[in-house]
Amino acid sequence: MRRFQPAALATAVALGSLAVSAASAQESDTYAVTGATIHTVANGTIENGTIVMRAGQIVAVGGPDTAIPAGATIIEGTGKHVYPGMVDAFSRLGLTEIGAVSATNDQSEMGDWNPHLEAYQAIHPASEHIPVARANGITHTLAAPGGGTISGQATLIHLDGWTVEEMRIEESAGMVIDWPSVGGGGRGFFGGGGNQDRSFQQRLEQYEKDVTELDEWFAAAAHYRQATEAGSDRVTRDLQLEQLARVLDGSLPVIIQANDERQITDAIEFAEKWALDLVLAGAEESRDMASTLAEKGIPVILGPVQRLPSDRDAPYDEPNTLPGVLHDAGVEIAFATFNSSDSRTLPYEVANAVPFGLPHDAALEAVTLSPARILGVGDRLGSLETGKTANVIVADGDPLEITTQIEYVFIKGVPVDLDNKHRRLWEKYKNRPAKATTT
């Protein structure tokens, strides 16, 4: 995977004074960025700092005196800023290519009960969306399935790798449940979920039926686990129950997509009943439950800040203020796009919460270390600390600011190619010879 091409990079972005010098053989697996402002996220900011990466890991983070191993490829980073790679904490990267073309969509399957399906098995490493996202500093993502009630298992991947096996961080990082909804809100392109013609009472009855059925699946999984653990030879192997049972001992987090108050309240109650390791996703109407979420230690993966307020009477800035409210209450928050084509602009969505109450440091943490902790890899990713996987970005400023250019992206300690479909088309067409005026 050694695809580091300084020349190509130099044409792609204005690198300014940034220079790369290989102090030894090209095959070095050691890189150092020196003289830069290092935003560790975990341990504050180091001015004139050095970070050293070797064999995929961060091996040193410190001041100008930090020792650089012989043979390291050195990036002179004066005036540059180094950050942990950013995370889209719930995306469809690798699972969908063109929204309107069903042949390119693999994120959802038929049926409502799919605990045995894994996003891992459908991830397309050559998706054009992946290089587009990582060129803007997104280094890993939770690629999550959708559809049905139990949608399947989400996969945590690096946004680089020849195969999904090379991309894999956690093949199964969470069981995704799309919590049933009473509906009536008119979401979706054609303005509704097909339940508009039913009364509220009818929709409420359907909702309760759906939740009961979900509960029955969990009961069945619990019985299945009891039986198999007891060594019964009369149990036929059932992949659905076998996989669902993994969430019952808390070893696999359950990521429940829930937006309105009823959904969130019921999801929390359900998770407590089954002792689940709950992560909420979406949580648009969680404002009034912030202290409850904090007390119970339930983290939240928020969707785009650039969305419309929940209803006509809601304040214009309701989506902008929610992250700050949750943060102030002590809720651990991360951010997600819930799609693939917008991943690159996730940092700007997060930035939109900052002038409305989310502290800047908290915003940065919410796209780096918080999602790592929420997804169970806080010991390996999300901050610039010795021993962590070297997913690192070098930028000419704050990556949450639109006009900042990302100059280097390291994934697993290797600088990845920042070229992508968009940049290639730009290069090609901006250099189109001027059209002859007459023919």
Half-sphere exposure of 164 (CA within 13 A, CB side): 17
Smaller CB distance to another protein: residue 70 or 101? 101
- Least distance in Å: CB of 229 to another protein? 46
- Least distance in Å: CB of 422 to another protein? 4
Spatial contact of 329 and 290, defined as CB atoms under 8 Å apart: yes
- Least distance in Å: CB of 355 to another protein? 4
Q: Which of 346, 296, 358 is nearest to 322 (CA)?
A: 358
Could you list the residues that contact another protein (CB under 8 A)?
A: 14, 97-101, 128-129, 190, 306-309, 312-313, 315-317, 340-341, 344-345, 347-348, 351-352, 354-356, 400-405, 421-423, 425-426, 429-430, 432, 434-435, 437
Spatial contact of 144 and 119, defined as CB atoms under 8 Å apart: yes
Residues 6+ apart with CB under 8 A from 383: 40, 41, 42, 43, 84, 368, 369, 372
Smaller CB distance to another protein: residue 7 or 101? 101
Smaller CB distance to another protein: residue 187 or 209? 187
- Least distance in Å: CB of 400 to another protein? 6
Smaller CB distance to another protein: residue 97 or 160? 97
Three-state SS sequence of 241-292: HHHHHHHCCCCCCEEEEECCHHHHHHHHHHHHHCCCCEEEEECCCCHHHHHH
Number of neighbours of residue 357 by Cβ within 10 angstroms = 16
* Identity of the residue numbered 220: A
**What residues does 414 pair with on adjacent strands?**
411
Q: Taking the CA atoms of the chain, what radius of gyration do you get in angstroms? A: 23
Max distance between CA atoms of the chain, in angstroms, equals 84
Smaller CB distance to another protein: residue 275 or 425? 425
Rounded distance between C-alpha atoms, residue 114 and residue 244, angstroms:
9
- Least distance in Å: CB of 54 to another protein? 32
Smaller CB distance to another protein: residue 144 or 241? 144
Smaller CB distance to another protein: residue 25 or 434? 434
- Least distance in Å: CB of 321 to another protein? 11
- Least distance in Å: CB of 328 to another protein? 18
Retrieve residue 223's tokens.
């019985």
Smaller CB distance to another protein: residue 275 or 402? 402
Residues 6+ apart with CB under 8 A from 182: 200, 203, 204, 207, 260, 262
Collapsing DSSP to helix, strand or coil, 351 comes out as helix
Smaller CB distance to another protein: residue 17 or 437? 437
Rounded distance between C-alpha atoms, residue 244 and residue 270, angstroms:
15
- Least distance in Å: CB of 70 to another protein? 38
- Least distance in Å: CB of 348 to another protein? 4
